Structure 1
Amino acid sequence: MAQNYPSDPNNGAYASSSAVPSSGPGNSGATPDSSLASSAQPNAAGGSSSGQFVATPSSNKSTQEGENVRHRRLSSGVMLSAGRYQIDRLIAAGGMGAVYKAIDTRFKRPCAVKEMLDEFHNESERNQAVEWFSREATLLLDLNHPCIPRVRDFFMEEGRHYLVMDFIEGRTLGDILEQDGKVAGVNGAHGIEEARARSWAQQVCSVLGYLHRQNPPIIFRDLKPSNIMVTGRDEIKLIDFGIARTFQSQRQATIIMTIGYAPPEQLHGMPEPRSDLYALGATLHRLLTHHDAVNNKPSIFSFPPVRTLRPDISPAFEQVLMKALAPALEQRWPNAMEMERALMNLPPISAVPPAMLPNLPGGAAPRPVNPATPSSAFPRSGTPSTPVSPTPAPGTGPQSGTGPHQGTGPSTHTTTGPAGPHIAAALAHLAGGRIEPAHAAVMQAFGLEPNNALVHKIFGQVFARRVPPQIDYAIRAYNRSLSLNPEDAETHKLVGDVSLFLRQQPLQAIPAYIQSLRLKPEDFETHQRLGQCYDKTGQLDAALREYQEAAHLAPKQPPQPAVHYALGQLAMRMNRFAVAEQAFVQVLVINPADHQTRFLLSQVYEHENKFEDAFRECSYVIGPLGANPAVQQMYQRLRNRLGR
């Protein structure tokens, strides 16, 4: 597992008039993710402008202190706080402290234990470090946001301060950029997909808006890829609040920043809420391009437009990002809420960067493919059915309208012609999961009506449902069908289904589903699948709209709980709790025995501060779901809050 906290959990920097590069552990002094904390201006002659500076008399002292610290790391099995926290392993270490994965023995759940060592040779340094550590604990204790790890405990033991927090399983954005940033640009640029960047940007705006709305506002001051974690569900978590400060407590004498991510006003010790938006813009620029800000010209605050390095990025997204990067405060977004709104209103992404398209066999040019699954071709779960059937040799079926059976008669898409009985037989076989008999029947139909669009559609369904699926043949058959009958909404939907369920490329499915809905806007399944595509590609607001439309259009009989459940889950992730509540209630109307949905509803009620409702719903599931520690923990928490 990748580290889920910065290499120096306490940010390893003190305000002082003598700042020198640190050679302590984790401080390379050569990356733009390094920190600057000094009351003096950075020394331009000191090498890279992105070097890390800490206030220690010499780099030898920092190294020496790091050596002493290494001998005092906690070992596996050590118990803290009267036996409540059992150390599992070290996950991050720096010169002043460490972060461990531990087990909370009371709740039998993992947690993160952040440790600050009390080994300072200078009393002012010690006081500054203790102040920062205590301020982080105090800040986090008062905050409640899904993107901020919760603080569980704060204590001192044997001269060391400890902070116990949620354990976040995931990777930093810096790690993701290095491991997953494969979309190629120009001049060596490369980075992550726009859809993921949009999703992360919206989530960061949400949490920054929350911080900036506190009284007084809280400024994070060190937003950068290494301080943003991403979970396995692509949800972000801000980590390392060690230098976050309230706006009213800012003092010009202290400069705390990371060169390349901090705006000009922070260089002069005057950060304000819009400074965090600049840092978010710089973070997004880095994630999309891998461009190092130290190469900016004529100054470090002059970022090149994103599309000069990544032409595949949409112009609208570039405008949002570059506005955040304006050096002048008044030219940036006025607040995080406005930037978030702009991101939410971006047009959906409907194209795939060329570098992300699959290479098809035989040297064929990449064709847009689309993700989703037709009810007539695949089961509701999205996995193809598995009838036993031989894989046909190439040529056993129509190939894009060519071959000896290419007819000259008019195009049709009905069952009233001479091939009608064979078409009906093929459809009956498909409905019964008999794939090879369906193929035999549609071959007979093709011999009689080679220009019947319905025949080619059935060929596509046969090829898609074979084991293994013949995806290229299916797409060719569907495309041939659409060339004969371009107004068939279901065939466009089937094209989308191939990508969603077989190719697992939801971004490429979007145009097909949009076209299908243009022709048949009342199809709730297509809205649902388009919502899945937007959801999987991080376009959450567009996904929410499609799920809501699907829920609105879904028939009452048979009931469609999956539509409402998907809507509730997404709304909950987006903190749209009123929408989530309504959706989960609808699921329970359909199936009152759905305990998992009832537990989710109890969580929604808790977020809405409807504690009586939350306790009622949690009480219903404490029996059937009592083995789940999260249920137990929530039940006890609500009991304590309500004094039960």
Structure 2
Amino acid sequence: MASNYSDPNNISSVRHASGQGGNGTDQPRPSGAQFASIPSSNAGQSASSSSSADSGGQRRRLAPGTELSDARYRIERPVAAGGMGAVYLATDKRFNRPCAVKEMLDDFNSDAERQQAVEWFEREATLLLDLNHPCIPRVRDFFMEGGKHYLVMDFIDGMTLAGVLEKEGHVMGVNGARGVTEARARNWARQVCSVLSYLHNQTPPIIFRDLKPSNIMVTSRDEVKLIDFGIARTFQSQRQSTIIMTVGYAPPEQVYGMPEPRSDLYALGATLHRVLTCHDAANNKPHIFSFPPIRSLRPDISPAFEQVLMKALGSNPDQRWPNSAEMERAIINLPPITVTPPLSPGAGQPGSGPSVHPVTPPANLSQPGSGPSGSPLTPNVPQSAGGTITGPAASYIVAAQGHLATNRIEEAYKAVMQACGVEPNNPVVHKLFGQVFARRVPPQIELALQAYNKSLQFNPDDAETHKLVGDIWLFLRPQPAQAIPAYIKSLSLNPKDAEAHFRLGQCYEKTGQLEPALREYQEALQLVPRQPVQPALHFALTLGQLAQRINQLPVAEHAFVQALVINPAEHRVRFMLCQVYEMQNKLEDALRECSYIIAPLGNDPAVQQTYQRLRARLGR
């Protein structure tokens, strides 16, 4: 696993002259530095200096067992090292917990170079001490010992996006493209937009300036952490500046020494383009700022998500999203993903053709975010009992399923009619008829129920068909009391179906049976997979709101915490957790959660009032 450390070898320091005739200046940056917070020298010195510094640095690495700061921190092992410094996994003996110790070596060519490096290192420490966001590692300590400077931070156990792409980017595209799933990329994009919004709303705004796959870490829970803040800068209008950037991720205005908050959005677009396609920006044509459309390399990516990212990659800042909050809102409001892409054979999905497997509910049954009845889970595209389609009607059945997955209802109907002509007693055929009738506009509810009941005559133990009957009564009639027996029967046949538990909970809640509803929501949250993110997040939020409503505060607290584990960037959920803590008189916890969101939600009077009330109650 990597630590909260990135490889800054791609960081460039570029001399830039003023557009008004002023002479540009370079800030010296010791080359080969393994801290992005230490300025590097010019490119001409890079190779030789790096080799010399690294060899000297290697002789001075801290050995495991070394203790620092009056024996508080015990070095366990190095996790990243370079010519000018290193990062170690250490143990904070006071609290008996792991931490990351970031060290800067004194290996400079001049006093001026040393002074500049120390200033940058201290700037990173001061910057991070003042920041408070779940996507930013916390600084624990900052000290000097033995002529070296040390920064103690949260140890992030995870991988950089560059590492994730290398090890887990198995979704195959065309022309050699490969990358991660769209669901993961959306999740990361939302979180990064959230932390960029927080940084850009500081006074003055903080521009990260070197967003790229190696400066973004993800934990085992897919939580994003920004690392290497040494090159982050507060935004000040100026006509000359040193350019700290990585070519291929930096936008044109940054190359010319004029970065602004929207420069980070370009870098985020370039980063996500990379992790989705593995495309090297050095191959962009006709110039490095001309990225190929994502779907030209990954046809499985939804057009809406591609549009969000390609807008972020606009060459002119005015062509991009106006700010990170707007980009985050666009990502949150994207339509659900409807196609799971083909993986490489080595990733467990044989074959090279695209696999169609919808992950959204039937369009005319429910839509995520459409209200309390909405469900973001998989639509009920039927399969045969054994999980494979065999028999003389197999090709028609598979064709119908593909049409349903892409919402081509009438094409699906024609394919099912052909299947029925070959196998009129096949329960899957009648289940598909039910799907077609239910999803027509307007839905043909009676025909759908007849088709499902016909399917159950041939296969009464099909849990999926019983759930489809429940869906009719819950979403299309709607008469939730009539849906309860169908969902109970479905769960008796498949008790591990998270979606069925959740929908049964919805029925109980709609009919005023709140305690049974709470139990079903809890069971659903326990069973639902964490990928894709949206269903688990929806389940956790629904459970937390019901628990808070009926004063089951520990349950509400647990649910909201689970929601934030799934996506730490959900500011409204964090505010709900704050309110639950206050209701439980856990005022310190409430104030902590409220402080996380006071910047992004500061315009909300309720958030402001809660924050001020908590400070007053705690005497702050």
TM bucket, shorter chain: 0.5 to 0.7
Q: Which moved more, 1:489-498 or 1:174-183?
A: 489-498
**1:58-113 deviations in whole A, cap 9, x for unaligned?**
63233112111110001011111111111111000111100011111111111111
Match of 1:623 in 2: none
C-alpha distance 170-580 of structure 1, shift in aligned 2 (>3 A): same
State how 1:70-85 maps to structure 2 within 5 Å. 70-85=58-73
> Partner of 2:257: helix, strand, or coil?
coil
Is 1:158 matched up with 2:146? yes
Distance (Å, rounded) in 2 between the aligned partners of 1:317 and 1:455 = 43
Aligned-pair CA distance for 1:319:
1.0
What is the total number of aligned residue pairs between the two structures? 498
Instruction: Decide which of 314, 318, 335 is 1:330's aligned counterpart.
Output: 318
Asked if the contact 1:189/1:289 (under 8 Å) is kept, the reply is yes
Choose which of 530, 533, 543 in structure 2 pairs with 1:536.
530
| In structure 1, distance between residues paired with 2:6 and 2:502 | 42
Answering whether residue 190 of structure 2 is matched by residue 180 of structure 1, we say no
Unpaired segments of 5 or more residues in structure 2?
16-23, 362-385, 398-418, 432-451, 475-482, 512-516, 597-613
State the Cα distance separating 1:188 from its structure 2 match: 1.0
Q: 8 Å contact 1:224–1:261 — kept in the other structure? A: yes
Aligned to 1:459: 461
- 3-state DSSP class of the match of 1:350? coil
* Structure 2 counterpart of 1:269, from 244, 257, 261: 257
2:257 is matched by which residue type in structure 1?
G
* Structure 1 residues 84 and 528, CA gap change in structure 2 (3 angstroms): closer
CA distance in 2, matches of 1:520, 1:356: 43
Q: Could you list the runs of 5+ residues in structure 1 that have no partner in the other structure?
A: 28-33, 39-52, 373-390, 413-449, 462-477, 589-597, 611-637
The letter for the 1-side match of 2:563 is L
Which residue of the other structure, out of 155, 170, 185, is the alignment partner of 2:158? 170
Question: Larger Cα Rg: Structure 1 or Structure 2?
Answer: 1
- 2:273 corresponds to which of 278, 285, 292: 285
Quote the residue 1:575 is aligned against. 571
Contact 2:206 2:233 in 1 (8 A): yes
2:88 alignment counterpart: 100
**Equivalent residues in 2 for 1:352-363, closer than 5 Å:** 352-355=340-343
Moved more, 564-573 or 213-222: 564-573
Task: Give the match for residue 240 of structure 2.
Answer: 252
| Distance change in 2, residues 1:290/1:517 (3 Å) | farther
Q: Could you tell me how far apart the structure 2 residues matched to 1:60 and 1:9 are?
A: 14
Report if aligned partners of 1:305, 1:318 keep a CA contact under 8 Å in 2: yes
From the superposition, tell whether residues 308 and 485 of structure 1 become closer, same or farther in structure 2 (CA, over 3 Å): same
Question: Cα gap change, 1:493/1:101 in structure 2, threshold over 3 Å: closer, same or farther?
Answer: farther
- The one-letter code of the counterpart of 1:75 is A
Deviation digits for residues 209-241 of structure 1 (CA, Å, limit 9, x no counterpart): 111111111111100010011112111111001
Q: 1:125 corresponds to which residue?
A: 113
How far apart, CA to CA, are the structure 2 residues paired with 1:527 and 1:74? 51
One-letter amino acid matched to 1:536: R
Q: Report whether the alignment pairs 1:204 with 2:192.
A: yes
Whether 2:219 is the aligned partner of 1:231: answer yes
Deviations 1:142-174 (A, max 9, x none): 111111111111111111111111111111111
| SS of residue matched to 1:275 | helix
| Letter in structure 1 aligned against 2:269 | G
Provide the rounded CA distance (Å) in 2 between the counterparts of 1:642 and 1:520: 40
| Letter paired with 1:579 | M
Identify which of 303, 307, 314 aligns with 2:302.
314
Q: TM-score, normalised by structure 2?
A: 0.66
SS of 2:461's partner is helix
> d(CA) in 1 for partners of 2:244 and 2:46?
20
Question: Which of 172, 180, 188 does residue 192 from structure 1 map onto?
Answer: 180
Distance (whole Å) between structure 2 residues aligned to residue 498 and residue 282 of structure 1: 47
Indicate if the aligned counterparts of 2:342 and 2:349 stay in contact, CA closer than 8 A.
Answer: no
Indicate the RMSD between aligned Cα atoms, in angstroms: 5.3
Distance 1:603 1:405, change over 3 A: same
Q: Is the 8 A contact 2:218 2:224 kept in 1?
A: yes
What is the distance in 1 between the residues matched to 2:581 and 2:540?
13
* Paired position in structure 2 for 1:5: 5
SS in 2 for 1:86: strand
2:337 and 2:101 mapped to 1: Cα distance?
40
Distance 1:57 1:127, change over 3 A: same
Deviation at 1:604, TM superposition (A): 3.7
Question: Deviations 1:485-531 (Å, cap 9, x if unpaired)?
Answer: 994767789989999958xxx9xx7xx99999999994968887887
Task: Determine what percentage of the aligned residue pairs are the same residue.
Answer: 51
Question: Which stretch has the larger CA shift, 162-171 or 486-495?
Answer: 486-495
1:594 is matched with: none
- Inter-partner Cα distance in structure 1 for 2:490 and 2:356: 11
C-alpha distance in 2, partners of 1:294/1:197?
22
Distance verdict in 2 for CA 1:172–1:269, change over 3 Å: same
Q: Do the aligned partners of residues 498 and 268 (structure 1) sit closer, same or farther apart at CA in structure 2, a change above 3 Å counting?
A: farther
Report the CA distance shift for 1:196/1:25 in structure 2 as closer, same or farther (over 3 A).
same
The range that moved more, 64-73 or 555-564, is 555-564
Aligned to 1:87: 75
CA distance in 1, matches of 2:290, 2:492: 44
Q: Could you tell me which amino acid in structure 2 is paired with residue 565 of structure 1?
A: H
Q: Which amino acid aligns with 2:462?
A: G
Q: Which amino acid aligns with 2:576?
A: V
Distance 1:483 1:602 in 2: 46
SS in 1 for 2:279: coil
Partners of 1:22 and 1:500 lie apart in 2 by 61
Contact 1:205–1:336 (Cα < 8 Å) also in 2 = yes
Within 2, Cα distance between the matches of 1:284 and 1:172? 13
Distance 1:191 1:552, change over 3 A: same
CA contact (8 A) 1:406 1:451 kept: no
Q: What does 1:376-415 align with in structure 2 at a 5 Å threshold? A: none
Q: Which residue of 2 aligns with 1:114?
A: 102
Q: C-alpha displacement at 1:186, in angstroms? A: 1.1
Correspondences of 1:410-425 after superposition (within 5 Å): none
- Tell me, yes or no, if structure 1 residue 341 matches structure 2 residue 335: no
Matched, 1:603 2:597: no
> Normalising by structure 1, what TM-score?
0.64
Identify if the C-alpha distance between structure 1 residues 107 and 3 changes in structure 2 by more than 3 Å, giving closer, same or farther.
Answer: closer
Q: 1:299 to 1:570 in 2, by over 3 A?
A: same
CA-to-aligned-CA distance 1:363-396 (integer Å, 9 cap, x gap): xx97848899xxxxxxxxxxxxxxxxxx9xxx9x
SS at match of 2:266: helix
Once residues 326 and 457 of structure 1 are traced to their aligned partners in structure 2, the CA distance between those partners, rounded to angstroms, is: 55
